[in-house]
Amino acid sequence: MSFRDLLAPGRLLVAPGVFDMISARIADHMGFSALYMTGYGTVASSLGLPDAGMASYTEMVSRVTAIAGGTTTPLIADADTGFGGLLNVDRTVRGYEAAGAVAIQIEDQVFPKKCGHTPGREVVPAEDMVRKIRVAREARASSDFLIIARTDARTTHGIDEALRRADAYARAGADVLFVESPESEAEMLRICHSFDLPCLANMVEGGRTPVLSFEELRQIGYRLAIFPATGFLAAAQALTRVYSALQARGSSKDAGLDLLPFAEMNKLMGFERVWAFDRQQAEGPPPTA
């Protein structure tokens, strides 16, 4: 079954945000139908920079390659604005598909883009984004590689303009529609009822959109829900607590820290294969006939 087939009407797929290989490996073992490579988290974890258009195509496609290559769960990957003009979009789509992603997300912000739930976002003319979608469709090697078209028009231009753009992107050939930052359940319902294509809900804790339950999202009509920030917000909180305790006490001994057992971490990262390989090689090559 292709990833497209999983986005059937009445069904809701939940994709956790992954941002490095530790988060990706953990999520990969959880039984999700998809993972979402978050731009915010990936840029923060790999470069220590804000999600403000500073990461290059080369930096991002290398992360797609690593995460898709190190997991078995279908990977949706954030590609910002496509990293430039139409020729850049062509290269980006080809690169992300070859890297192993099953879907690419492209947005209609001006360059340099900004995180979707932060202020100051501006969008390009809708016709420019339509051309990007058409180029993306032509660039992909397989129709099973999905194009997710995101519009950031809601915050600055209102829900009517966002819906107008989403309709244009659907007619241009997008496979999934992503209307960013609706500000109420009524707007979310209006989005899903306006299109036959699968719609994506972006659940950002502390963002502009209400974070709803699984059943609420499914009843509204969403077929894909991403939780891009949940993982890195939890990781940052946990690290803050652990490092604060270590700084205050000078040691982890008797600090009551909630840590993953070292043996479990070794298993997660694949050391069991390394040890088995070393044992096999230590025994020497098999005898020849």
Within a domain: residue 267? no
DSSP-assigned beta bridge partners for residue 123: 109
107 within 8 A of 148, measured Cβ to Cβ: no
Within a domain: residue 136? yes
* End-to-end CA gap in the chain: 45
Q: Please list, in sequence order, all residues whose beta carbon lies within 8 angstroms of the beta carbon of residue 227, skipping any fewer than 6 positions away.
A: 14, 15, 16, 17, 36, 203
Of 84, 112, 279, 206, the closest CA to residue 93 belongs to 84
Within a domain: residue 111? yes
89 within 8 A of 106, measured Cβ to Cβ: yes
Q: Which of 59-63, 123-127, 145-149, 252-256 has the lowest mean pLDDT?
A: 252-256
Of 36, 41, 35, the closest CA to residue 19 belongs to 41
Within a domain: residue 282? no
Within a domain: residue 266? no
pLDDT of residue 116: 64
109 within 8 A of 152, measured Cβ to Cβ: yes
How many domains does one find in the chain?
1
Within a domain: residue 193? yes
148 within 8 A of 200, measured Cβ to Cβ: yes
Sequential DSSP letters for 25-86: HHHHTTT-S-EEE-HHHHHHHHH---SSS-S-HHHHHHHHHHHHHT--S-EEEE-TT-SSSH
In this predicted structure, the answer to whether residue 47 has a pLDDT above a threshold of 70 is yes
Give me the mean pLDDT over the 183-212 stretch.
Answer: 97
Give me the mean pLDDT over the 237-246 stretch.
Answer: 96
Q: Report the percentage of the chain scoring pLDDT > 70.
A: 96
pLDDT of residue 289: 60
pLDDT band at 132 (very low <50, low <70, confident <90, very high): very high
The model's pLDDT over 92-104, given as tens digits with 9 standing for 90+, comes to 999 999 999 999 9
* Residue written as token pair 């600055």: 156
The model's pLDDT over 221-236, given as tens digits with 9 standing for 90+, comes to 999 999 999 999 999 9
In this predicted structure, the answer to whether residue 1 has a pLDDT above a threshold of 80 is no
- 263 alpha-carbon distance from chain centroid: 29
Q: Where are the beta strands (DSSP E) in the chain?
A: 13-18, 35-37, 75-78, 103-107, 146-151, 176-179, 200-202, 224-227
Give me the mean pLDDT over the 282-287 stretch.
Answer: 75
Q: Which residues in 61-90 are b (16+ Cβ under 10 Å) and which e?
A: bebbbbbbeebebbbbbbbbbbbeeeebbb
pLDDT of residue 284: 72
pLDDT of residue 179: 98
Of 62, 78, 82, 81, the closest CA to residue 21 belongs to 62
Q: Give CA–CA dist 81/207, Å, rounded.
A: 21
Question: Strands 75-78 and 35-37: what pairing?
Answer: parallel
Residue 84: domain span: 3-235
Mean pLDDT, the chain, integer:
94
pLDDT of residue 52: 84
Within a domain: residue 28? yes
Of 18, 2, 5, the closest CA to residue 226 belongs to 18
- CATH number of the CATH domain containing 164: 3.20.20.60
Token pair of 196, please?
């036959």
Give me the mean pLDDT over the 133-160 stretch.
Answer: 97
Within a domain: residue 222? yes
Helix axis angle, 159-172 relative to 185-193, nearest 10°? 30
pLDDT band at 54 (very low <50, low <70, confident <90, very high): confident
pLDDT of residue 283: 80
Q: Give CA–CA dist 60/47, Å, rounded.
A: 11
Question: Strands 35-37 and 13-18: what pairing?
Answer: parallel
Give me the mean pLDDT over the 197-205 stretch.
Answer: 97
